[in-house]
Structure 1
Amino acid sequence: MALNMTPPRPKTPLAIVAVFLAFFSVTTRAQTPRDYLNTPVNAAAFFFDFVNNNSETAAESDIPLPNNVTVIRVGVATILWSFPLAGRYGGVAVSGGYIGVKVTGPLGEVSNSGFSDPSIAFHANIFGAPALHKDQIAQAIPKTFSSFHLTVNVPLGSYDRNSPVNTGANRWAFNPVLNLSITPDKGVSWFDLYAGALFFTNNNAFQGNNQLSQNPLVTFSGFYSHNIGKRMFLGAGVSYDNGGESYSNNIPQDNAANGFRPGVTLSRGRTIWRYRLTLRYELTGTTPDSAPTNSLFAVRLSGPLF
């Protein structure tokens, strides 16, 4: 009988903090009911999002940051320009934000704040959302549609290779999403289905000259929403995340996501193309040992820019 003398693989707690932020970028952009309803082409719209996220690991967790609480607050501003694309709806959006993060645990407190990585998103309708101008969209009858969306995060946010926590990721990220939105009653209610993934390049300046890499993270979401009167809708659904394990110098950190996030959304606006206020709340439904418990509260104000 031979004894296994292989030493245990070291894990890097700060890699886990970095991945908290990576997962948080997904939940910040997490899909909600009616995300991609048709809007007028040749028009600009704005979105302002404020998100508060709390992540907590249990004391008995097997990840290298047990009994820690991470609080992240972010404000993101987005400008969307919509345009005809082969006779259907198309759009491009630019986003930028500011993040504050604080990690508290048995070893003390670490905090930081700064600009997040800006992003650019491309939107293209596949079927069901024709290119409509402002004077046409009020009379249009909503119908089932599908679209493709690609968001690219550019590594221009605040980053210091010697800081224990950063708000910029110092790496590119690519997030393709496909949606299918089904209405059985001309827009009174919607079933929204989303499938997406997040792909990362490596960060080769992690904690000095170390390398942080990460597997793709796959996400699925499904929601039902229904109108309440003429100005409001209420929606509920669930998202599922899988994958995204990180590696510090090719050493796996055993922190892959594998859980559900149920959520509710309440949205009120004057009309389909005026200012709208949307509230969103999410909470983890299933939590493996390697993942934190998360709660998220988000507020969005949106409307025409001009």
Structure 2
Amino acid sequence: MIAALLFASLPFASMGARAQEIEPRAYSNAPVGVNFFIAGAVRTEGGLSFDAVPITDARIETTSAVFAYARTLDLWGKSGKFDVIVPYTHLQGTALYQGDPIERDVTGFGRGAFRMSINLHGAPALSLEEFRDWKQDVIVGVSLQVSPPWAQYDEGRAVNIGSNRWSFKPEIGVSKAMGPWTFEAQAAVVFFTDNDEFFNGNTRSQDPLYSLQGHAIYGFSNGTWLSVDGTWFAGGRSQVNGVLNNDLQQNWRVGATIALPIDRANSIKFSASSGVSARTGNNFDAIGVAWQHRW
């Protein structure tokens, strides 16, 4: 059971999907001093949107290898976690740019991220021995995720894996355990810096992107857990050289996640999500698998 509880929640999203990730158990508790290494793969297919507006009719496929490291921390007596995630992506597909067909086939690093989180209420910093007897009630946590502009980017191309800018994502999350069920809700906003090398020397800016997500998680007696997930995100309207684009986002996604403990040190997680409705882009399907080792 402890092996299942220790499955670190890291977002296995790629490129433009990063702001719309679905991530159950982001604010679960774990013993202090535990390390996690995670290796996974994510595939997306469909109408991904990119910074190079006005792209339409996108038929883009991506396949990403994702590597992550996380460590649980004692932050002033409260449980916390630091994690880093690095994707490496192959992108291929077609789209229309201002009515003209374009094609792209490129491989490179995707947008990595660093995150620090702390559980402010309901999840004290515990040793492994103390954690064995701990029972969750209500957890309230916050986090800050930072994504640097270190991904593949070519200002002369309309479609890239990266976006040549920083992003900052503060978030608050609440988790409530009720018997074998855990119910979670998260609210976040993503702030973007300007891309001053946008497509042939232009400058692109973007308004904040707001998001809500919820999860209903059921824990089985053998340590397996299953989550049904949903997320809504809105905002993010962009400007190019001060001219507003018609790309306000108001989108919904749903998904499911299942985590299977192999032994005390290893677990496997499978996830899938799909767009339900999308005002602009991001109506894509995604599937992922991840292996985790802890020590």
Same fold (TM over 0.5): yes
Aligned to 2:278: 287
Which letter does structure 1 place at the counterpart of 2:257?
T
Distance 1:49 1:175 in 2: 23
Residue deviations 1:124-178 (CA, integer Å, cap 9, x gap): 1110111112232223222221111111011122222223332232111001111
Aligned to 1:110: 104
Distance 1:154 1:66 in 2: 27
Aligned to 1:302: 292
Distance 2:83 2:16 in 1: 21
Give the superposition deviation at 1:108: 4.3
Asked if structure 1 preserves the Cα contact closer than 8 Å seen for 2:61 and 2:92, the reply is yes
Gaps (5+ residues) in structure 2? Answer: 1-13
**Distance change (3 Å), C-alpha of 1:101 and 1:159:** same
Which letter does structure 1 place at the counterpart of 2:220?
I
Aligned to 1:217: 209
Asked if structure 2 preserves the Cα contact closer than 8 Å seen for 1:111 and 1:165, the reply is no
Q: Where do residues 138-149 of structure 1 align in structure 2 (5 Å cutoff)? A: 138-149=132-143
Residue deviations 1:45-78 (CA, integer Å, cap 9, x gap): 1222322112238xxxxx8433331112222211
Structure 1 residue 184 corresponds to structure 2 residue 178 = yes
Aligned to 1:9: none
TM-score, normalised relative to structure 2: 0.85
Partner of 1:68, secondary structure, is strand
TM-score, normalised relative to structure 1: 0.83
Partner of 1:38, secondary structure, is coil
Give the superposition deviation at 1:276: 1.8
Aligned to 1:26: 19
Structure 1 residue 120 corresponds to structure 2 residue 114 = yes
Out of 36, 41, 45, which is 1:50 matched to? 41
Give the superposition deviation at 1:270: 4.2
Aligned length: 274
Distance 1:165 1:68 in 2: 10
Out of 79, 85, 91, which is 1:101 matched to? 91
Q: Where do residues 1-306 of structure 1 align in structure 2 (5 Å cutoff)? A: 23-27=16-20, 30-56=21-47, 64-105=54-95, 107-185=101-179, 188-270=180-262, 274-288=265-279, 290-304=280-294, 306=295
* Larger strand fraction of residues: 2
Distance 1:108 1:155 in 2: 24
Gaps (5+ residues) in structure 1? Answer: 1-20, 58-62
Asked if structure 2 preserves the Cα contact closer than 8 Å seen for 1:198 and 1:216, the reply is yes
Distance 1:66 1:158 in 2: 22
Instruction: Point out the more displaced range, 30-39 or 169-178.
Output: 30-39
Distance 1:64 1:97 in 2: 26
Partner of 1:136, secondary structure, is helix
Partner of 1:24, secondary structure, is helix
Give the superposition deviation at 1:233: 1.5
Give the superposition deviation at 1:181: 0.4
Distance 1:234 1:68 in 2: 32
Give the superposition deviation at 1:292: 4.3
Distance 1:137 1:256 in 2: 45
**Distance change (3 Å), C-alpha of 1:292 and 1:160:** closer
Distance 1:33 1:156 in 2: 27
Aligned residues: CA RMSD? 2.1
Give the superposition deviation at 1:285: 1.4
Asked if structure 2 preserves the Cα contact closer than 8 Å seen for 1:256 and 1:291, the reply is no
**Distance change (3 Å), C-alpha of 1:105 and 1:94:** closer
**Distance change (3 Å), C-alpha of 1:67 and 1:169:** closer
Aligned to 1:17: none
Give the superposition deviation at 1:256: 1.9
Asked if structure 2 preserves the Cα contact closer than 8 Å seen for 1:231 and 1:270, the reply is no
Distance 1:259 1:158 in 2: 26
